[in-house]
Structure 1
Amino acid sequence: MLVILLAVIFAAVDLLPGDAASATSERGESAGDIAHRRHLLGLDQPVWERFGDWITGLPTGDLGTSARGEKVADLLAAPLPNTLLLGGIALVATIVAAVALGVRASVRPGGKVDRAVDLASTAAFALPEFVVAVGVMLLLSLWTGWLPAATVTGPDGGPADWTMLVMPVLALAIPQTGWNTRIVRAALADQLRTPHVAAARLDGLTTRRVLLRHALPGAWPTVATGIATSTGMLLGGAVVVETLFNYPGVGTVLAGAVADRDTPVVAAVSAGAAAVIALVLLLADLVRARTLGGRS
C-alpha cells in the first residue's frame, strides 16, 4: 500500500501545472537555463522512471535530492523532531481529555453532563483544524494577548518558548478530542452492558469504581483503535496548523515543497508519515491482542 501511495503522489505532483525547474527558477533566467535545470533534475524523464529511481534508494535511507539541490534527509532532519514533539503533545492531550470526558459522561448516562459532553464533542469533531486554529488565535492572541500569534524559532531550530506550542496543540487536539470522546463513551456504554460489569454493580461497587476498574480496561481495545486513527489525522492536520502558526515543522516544509513541485520532498514526508501511522496501528493491534488475550 505504501508503494502505491507513493506512486500516486509522484503522479499527482507531476500533473500539477508547472514543474520544479520553473517553480524554483530565479528572476531573469532564460528558457535555456530552465531547460538545463529540468534535465539536471531528471524532469525530462517519464514519471515512472523517476519514481523507480527514487524508491530504490528508499530502503537505504536515500530520500533523494530536492529541487534546490539539498539532500532531502538533511532538509527534514531539523523540522521532523519539531513535528513529532507537536504531534506527540497533541496526542497525549487528546488521550487524557477524551478518557476523562468519556468516563465523566458515563457516570450518569443521559444526564446533563452526558448530554453536554455529547454536544461539545460532536461540535469539536465537526470543526476542521484550520477553523479551530483561527479561533484560538483570535481568542488567545489577538483579543487577549495571552499567547504569541506566531512561532519564533530558537537557536536549536525549535520553538523559542513553550508558550508557542499551546495554540498549535489546541488546534490539533480539540477536533480529535471530540472524536475520541465519542469513542470512549460508546465503548464504555458497551462494557456497562457486559455480565462482569453487571456483577460488579450487584456487588455494591460505586459507579466510578465500576467504570475505572471494570469497564475501562475492557474498552481499551476500541479506544486504542480510535487513538491510532487520530494519529493520522493529527499528522495531516499538522500541515495546515504549522503553516498558520509559522511552526518550524515538516508541515511547513511540505507546503513549500508542493509550491515548488518538489516531488522527492513531498514523497519523503508522506513516507515518513505513513511509517509513523503504521507503527501506531501496530501498537494499537498489540494492545487489542493483549487485552482480548487476557480476557480469554
Structure 2
Amino acid sequence: MAELSPLAKTGAVAASQTGAVTAPRRPRHPAVRVAAVVVRRALMLVVLLAVVFAAAEILPGDAASATADRGARAADIAARRHLLGLDRPVWERFADWMAALPTGDLGTSARGQQVTDLLADPLPNTLILGLSAFVLTVVVSLLLGCWAAARPGRLTDRIIGHASTAAFALPEFVISVVLLLALSLWTGWLPAVTVTGSDGKPAQWSMLIMPVIALVIPQTGWNVRIVRGALADQAATPHVEAAHLDGLPVHRVLLRHQLPGAVPAIATGFATSTGMLLGGAVVVETLFNYPGIGAVLAGAVASRDTPLIAGVVVCAGAVISLVLLAADMIRQATLGERA
C-alpha cells in the first residue's frame, strides 16, 4: 500500500477528529446569481424611492400650496390638500404608490395629469442623449486608455493621465458654459438652445452635439483612468509577461492578453458612469433647454410634486439597474471562463 503524503496524513487526522470532511462549497447556478442581483437592485430602488418620498415631505411647503392659484384662500388650499391626499401619512401614500407601480401606474401629478403621460416624450429624449454620450464615452475611453497602456511611463501616458484627471474634475455646467461661449456665442457654429419639433424631439441633430460633449468629457476622464489602471494590473500577470518575453508585438499583447482580463473592471466603470450621465443630464438639459426629464424634474421639485419626482427617479433607476445588471453578468461570465 502506498504511503500517504504529509498533506494527506494531515487531512486524514483532521477528518478522524471531526468525524467528517467538510465538502467544498458548491458555486451557485448562474441563474441564481442573476436572480440575487436583480432582487438586490430592486430592494435598493425601493429604498431610494422611500427616501424620495421622505425628502419631499421634509421640504418646506407642499404640492397644494405650490400649485394653488395666486391669492387662494386657506380653505381652498386645505381642500386641495385633502384632494391630493396630502393629509394622509407619508407612509400610506408611499405604500399606495408602490402597490400601483408593478402595473405601470406612476400615479397622478399635483396638477391632475398622469405621470406616465408627462414622461412619455421627455424620457426618450433623455435616453437618446444619455445613450449617445455613453457610446462616445466607451469608444474614446477605450482608445485613450489602450493608447496610454501601450506606452507605460512615456510622455503620451503622462499627458493622457493628467488630462483625464483634469477632465473628470470639471463639472458638467462649467463645460456647458464654455461650449456655449466657444461654439455658439463666439463662433455661431452650433445653436445655443434646443428647439423642439412637432414630435417633441430636437429639430436638428446638431442640437445634440454640445449636450453630448458636456456629458462625455468628465466621464471619459473617469473611465480612461479605469481602463489604464485595469490594463496596468493585467500587465503584471505572468501570462502577459510571458507574452512579452516571447517577442509578441505590444498591440497584440494588449488586445489579446491584457484587455480580456481587464473587462470586468472596465465594464463596472462604464456601468457606474450610467448614473453619472443621467445625473449630469439634469444640469445639461436645463442649460441647453433640452426637452428631457431634467426640466420635468426641476419643475416637479419646485412644485413639491412627489409622484412626478418618484416617477422620474424610478425610470432613471430602472435604466441604471439594467446597466449595472449587465455589467454584473459580464463580470461573472468573464470570471467563470477563467475558472
State whether TM-score is above 0.5: yes
Q: CA deviation at 1:264?
A: 0.3
Q: Separation in 2 of the partners of 1:190 and 1:22?
A: 57
Mapping for residues 106-185 of structure 1, pairs under 5 Å: 106-185=149-228
Q: CA deviation at 1:8?
A: 1.1
1:205-251 Cα offsets, whole Å, 9 max, x none, are 21112111221111111000000100011111111111111111111
Instruction: Point out the more displaced range, 34-43 or 78-87.
Output: 34-43
1:50-86 Cα offsets, whole Å, 9 max, x none, are 1111111111111000011100011111111111100
Mapping for residues 1-296 of structure 1, pairs under 5 Å: 1-296=44-339
Q: Separation in 2 of the partners of 1:173 and 1:12?
A: 30
What SS does the corresponding residue of 1:200 show, helix, strand or coil?
Answer: helix
Q: Separation in 1 of the partners of 2:260 and 2:46?
A: 37
Q: Separation in 2 of the partners of 1:112 and 1:155?
A: 51
1:173-200 Cα offsets, whole Å, 9 max, x none, are 1111000000000000011111111122
Gaps of 5+ in 2: 1-43
Instruction: Point out the more displaced range, 135-144 or 73-82.
Output: 135-144
Q: CA deviation at 1:255?
A: 0.7
Q: CA deviation at 1:32?
A: 2.3
Q: Separation in 1 of the partners of 2:329 and 2:53?
A: 33
Instruction: Point out the more displaced range, 184-193 or 136-145.
Output: 136-145
Supply the RMSD in Å over aligned alpha carbons. Answer: 1.1
Q: Give the letter aligned to residue 188 of structure 1.
A: L
Q: Give the letter aligned to residue 152 of structure 2.
A: P
Q: CA deviation at 1:203?
A: 2.0
Q: CA deviation at 1:28?
A: 3.4
Identity of aligned residues (%): 71
Q: CA deviation at 1:118?
A: 0.5
What SS does the corresponding residue of 2:97 show, helix, strand or coil?
Answer: helix
What SS does the corresponding residue of 1:109 show, helix, strand or coil?
Answer: coil
Q: CA deviation at 1:31?
A: 2.4
Q: Give the letter aligned to residue 257 of structure 1.
A: A
Q: Give the letter aligned to residue 201 of structure 2.
A: G
Q: Separation in 2 of the partners of 1:7 and 1:221?
A: 31
Instruction: Point out the more displaced range, 182-191 or 49-58.
Output: 49-58
Q: Separation in 2 of the partners of 1:86 and 1:149?
A: 16
Alignment: residue pair count: 296
Report the TM-score, using the length of structure 1 for normalisation.
Answer: 0.97
Q: Separation in 2 of the partners of 1:233 and 1:115?
A: 26
Instruction: Point out the more displaced range, 6-15 or 130-139.
Output: 130-139
Gaps of 5+ in 1: none
Q: CA deviation at 1:3?
A: 1.7
Report the TM-score, using the length of structure 2 for normalisation.
Answer: 0.85
Q: Give the letter aligned to residue 198 of structure 1.
A: E
- 2:17 equivalent in structure 1: none
What SS does the corresponding residue of 2:192 show, helix, strand or coil?
Answer: coil
Q: CA deviation at 1:115?
A: 0.7
Structure 1 runs (4+) greater than 6 angstroms displaced: none
